[in-house]
Every structure is written in structure tokens, then in C-alpha cells.
Structure 1
């Protein structure tokens, strides 16, 4: 049996939430989360199932604003750090729950060559471009195009990025669909098409604290499993060197469940010192696959809350919340500090437009870009 199947089988035996009633239907409820500075309304949609799970999506950044799930005692808590109102998302967004693109992660020097032409994109992370630049997909207001109840309640949002937006070629039309079913599966699917050859790498930047927002335990006690034998080390500015390096014998080996806090501050590894913790890409595969595969499993042992993350993408960017410094006041007035939440981003590899040996981020007219990620939520008893 493969490692992926072994882990999935272990989850099935671990005491996941009760199976759904086939006749049950999840619900989607529209609301308004606030207004943009120009007066435009920011819609929100809350998806709710019959098992005590709900997810709220806001149109600003097509973002996951909240996700509430029960612990092993049945106590529900929001496990997404962010803000209670629109103001924080406008003034200090930090990519909380956001859709990131056109090109998620970093592009070295904000510069790449594509089809023989040099493109410059905004530098907003040291010397590099991060998550699409100064006004990436996380900072624009998406259009809500469909809201549905049913076996899987869902909301679909659309954003049309014009040719030249943030320096990228081609008009890119992107759809983000969030759905929640009665099996406690939260699915996020991104689809994009272009009228001109371009580069695309879209992901979701949800910040997870399975202990619950504001819990003094933070996220460093979370047990993480990543079924990857290799990762891509970086330079001091978090740009991959181009190599694939074995995780064996390093602090990057999460093939067995390991608490993040056990090794996140082990500065003997220069990679940890570069990023002040984990902010690296794990090599799950070498290409986008037609079906989904296991990317990670995360459990908070005190509450029992957990998820498996599945996707069709070859890379997983794991970020351990290293740069929260107490200057952000978030939900419920809680101050966010280092290690309060983690991010797991299924995607293509960082700096792929500049790395010939990495899976391609190219998208041509007539093709459809697709990144489908499924968070299989569970509670261990």
C-alpha cells in the first residue's frame, strides 16, 4: 500500500466526524461584509452543513474569512485567523484567507523572461515580487456569480484581470468556487483561461489555527504530516536555488507526524534562519495530476480538530506564521504573534517562470488552468 493510502486509511480509523445523512443539504446564505473605499458593497456568503461546520467567504480577495468546526467535545470555534470587519482587510490584509495570484509565491527580482520578452512585475517582498505584486488577486473585489444550496453548498466568484495587470501578459478570467458538503469537505477550486499566452499559479492563503482563534496554544503544537521526500531550498531572500534536496535527516522531514514547534526554531539549519522558520516548498510530485493526491495532514492534539489536504498540484508551500510580530489586532481583539497560525498552499513551485527545471506555469489560449484543493475536516476522539 502506498504511503498516501496508508495515511488515508489511518484517518478513516481515527474517529472522523459522523457520516452524513444522504438526504441532508448544506445551505448558503448571502450577506454584506462591508464596503470598499469607493462605496462598492463587499458581499459575503456563509456555507453551513448539518455537522456544525460553516465557512464564510468574502468577495474582497475571494477570501475565506472564517471557518468554524467542532472539537472532540463538540465545542465550535473559528479556526481561521483574520479580521471581524472589512477595515483590517483593507488596511493590513496580510493575505488572510485570500486567493493569491496571478502568480502565487515569489518571482526573483520581480522579473522573468517569457516567449523571448522580459516582463517586470511589482516588487513587494524584499527584492522580489510576492503573490502577484502590490495589487494581486487578494486586493481586488471579485464578482459573486453563483450561490447554491444542495448536497454541497457553494459560492462561485469571478475576476477578470486585464492584459498588463501588474505587468502580466494576457487577459485572464479566473473563477474561484468554494463548496462545503455533509462529509465535512471544504473544496476550493480555481479555474482560469486566457486570451494570450501567460503565466498562472493561483492558490489559497488560509491561516489555520485548529486550537481556535485566540487560543494561547497557538499553532506550534499542531502535528503535521507531509508525504514528500524532497523540498526546494532557498537563498536568503526565499528564492529557490533550483535544487531538489532530500528531507531525510533534516528539520524538513515531516513524513511522520511531527509537532511544528519541535524544530521550527532550529537555527542550526540555515534554511530555518533564512525564513525565521518554515516558508518552503515541499516536492509532492513533478507535475499537475488529473486526480488529487494527499498534500498534508494536520492535527491539533488537544482539541482533536484536524484536516487532510488533497490537491492536484505538485508543490506545497508550508509557512509557519514567522512574521507575526504583535502589530496586528485581529478577531476578537486578539494580537497575532509568531506561530499563531500556519499556511498550507498547494501550488506550482516558487519562481517557476525563472526556473527551467520546475513544472511550467505557462497557460495558452484554449487551455484551462485548474487548482483543486480539498480540506477533509475531521475530529479525533
Structure 2
């Protein structure tokens, strides 16, 4: 077990961004940077015990600048807020619109572009790193000074644990997630059509063509979003469904059954035999299959990134919950910390 620190690059304002490498005794390795609390690499063993990087990303710090969410911690509010505004305690808060008329992933200056403070914990068998940041009142239009803590831990059983804590001095919406792009094969040029996915979800939130929920929750059973029994992602990724066709694949919030910390589901790559269980205490998960990529964007292999070479499972409160009282969501209250945890548990299934 060890932690190493190196220089990743320099921000436009001259500040230096580090790169931290955490290694567990099992060989599982996490590479992360304080710039956006990003997961840069995650090395886990395949069926032959060979370590492979299961996270898409880039080679340089500069490639992560701007609206690039690869591996980043997302906030203050993950996913979308319709109309780029919300009303809280009778006051309307206007947010920057960076997704048509809507706010996406906390706005253009969200936490994916913040250089966080880092603190490493090396004692014991489970190395971890904690990032902290105080988001000022009014940042990206959100109310309240919000103290944030993000901790990544490599646990002994090949598990990556992600824990987020927020404490505010005013009521404010808080919907954190991580935007890791997974490819369990370890080959970042390989499409994930053969990746098998099972999710404990029987419902989804219906949305407009702008992916803003209309407040309705409907059954997925028997349709292209039914992953209850498990199936290959490619089976229904291009189904004759209006939203799937519009998105070019999956980009859907699925409502996970149950409450509390529980298993959301499992993904499995048949070639490498890497399996990944998803556990969280949040109510939903956004399944996104990397449906489009801008021309000229390069991956860590130096090759152009290609669509459908990754899938995201972003644990979350439902999108646009600030506008739908029937969605499971509560505003962060002054002086009352909120903590949530998500785990990605890796194994080999032959």
C-alpha cells in the first residue's frame, strides 16, 4: 500500500495541479487529481490477473479544461435544472444556462473546474485521499456558503469508495455525483455494446427532448430500459424509441428500488471477465453510453475518442428535483451536514 505524488500540470492562472497515485495491496490502483477531484485512472485486474485501466480520460491536464466531465466530481447540482432557475423559500435563484435553456452539472463553472485542497491518508490497509473546497455563497447562482469534502478510498476487497459531505450556512440544493466513464475491457477504443448490465430499477423519470423531467415516473418493465434481468448494453441501445433515437443511445435516469445503502446493480465485460457492482444510498442513477464525442478529442491512448466506448453510472437524486415535489429530494439545511456514499466493487467472473 502506497501513495505517490507528482506534478500533473499548471492551470491558466499559474497554480500547479498534482497527480496522486494510490495503490492497494491487491494491486488495485487509483490515480486522481485535485483539479475537479478527477479520477484519472483506475487499474483493476482481469481474469488473468492483469491490471487494466477501466476509466476513459486524457493524457494531459489541459485536455480536461472547460466542459469536460471525465472522471470529475459534479456539483453543486448534478444533471439538469430546467429553465436554469429554481424557487427556494419564496426567492427565485437564476443560474447560468449551459445546456440550451437549462443548467447542466452545476453550470459552466461547476466543481469540475475547481482546484481542491488535498489530504492523503496512508495508514492501514486502505489508502484514501480527501479533497476539500468551500463553495462561496452565490457561486454559479446557488445560495449559501457550502463546505465540501470528497473522499476516495481503496478498500481491501478491490472496492473504490466515494464519500461526499456538504455543510451549508443557508438552505441550498445539493446533488453530488462522479462522472466516471467506464470501459471494463480496459481497451478504450472498444465499444461497450457487449458489456452486460443489470440494474435493480423498474421505473424511470420521463423527460422532454431537452432531457428535463416532466414529473412523471413510469415503468420500464418489458421495454428497452428494462435491465432487471440483465442484458448486453447493445441489445436495446439503438431501439426504436424516441428518446433513445434522439440521444443516440442511453441517457436516462433510472429509479433504483429500495432505500438506504444498497446494491444498484452490476456490470460485466465478457472478454476481460471484470465485473463491477454499484452500491449507493441515493435514489437514482443516470445511465449514459457516451453517445457523442467532439471531433479531435483524444483519449489516454493518444487516439481520438469514439462514441459508445464507455458507460456512465452516475448515482444521483433525480434530475430537476427542485421542480418536482414527488421526487425523493431534500434541500441541504443550514448547519445540517449531508453525507452520501457510492461504491464500485470489482471482481472477476468467468
> The TM-score by the shorter chain falls in which range?
over 0.9
The DSSP-based 3-state class of the residue aligned with 2:201 is: coil
Aligned length: 350
Pick from 105, 115, 128 the counterpart of residue 141 of structure 1: 115
* TM-score w.r.t. length of structure 1: 0.89
1:276 aligns with 2:259: no
Q: Once superposed, what is the RMSD of the aligned Cα atoms?
A: 1.4
Q: Hey, which bits of structure 1, 4+ residues long, moved more than 4 A?
A: none
Distance 1:252 1:174 in 2: 34
Pick from 216, 226, 245 the counterpart of residue 243 of structure 1: 216
- Is the 2:158–2:345 contact (alpha carbons within 8 Å) kept by the matching residues of 1? yes
Map 1:1-381 to 2 at 5 A.
26-90=1-65, 93-215=67-189, 217-266=190-239, 268-285=240-257, 289=259, 291-381=260-350
CA offsets per residue over residues 350-378 of structure 1, 9 Å max, x none? 00111111112401112112220011111
Distance 2:261 2:319 in 1: 20
The DSSP-based 3-state class of the residue aligned with 1:331 is: coil
- Is the 1:69–1:79 contact (alpha carbons within 8 Å) kept by the matching residues of 2? yes
CA offsets per residue over residues 181-236 of structure 1, 9 Å max, x none? 22101100000000111110000000001111434x32121100001111112110
Consecutive unaligned residues of structure 1, counting only runs of 5 or more, are 1-25
The DSSP-based 3-state class of the residue aligned with 1:242 is: strand
Shift of 1:149: 3.6
Shift of 1:52: 2.3
CA offsets per residue over residues 263-282 of structure 1, 9 Å max, x none? 1111x211212322111111
- In structure 2, the CA distance between the partners of 1:126 and 1:235, relative to structure 1 (3 Å rule), is same
CA offsets per residue over residues 145-174 of structure 1, 9 Å max, x none? 343242210000001100000000000011
Shift of 1:28: 2.1
Distance 2:290 2:265 in 1: 17
- In structure 2, the CA distance between the partners of 1:121 and 1:361, relative to structure 1 (3 Å rule), is farther
Distance 2:245 2:175 in 1: 27
Distance 2:317 2:68 in 1: 21
- Is the 1:84–1:330 contact (alpha carbons within 8 Å) kept by the matching residues of 2? yes
The DSSP-based 3-state class of the residue aligned with 2:152 is: strand
Shift of 1:57: 1.1
Distance 1:316 1:33 in 2: 31
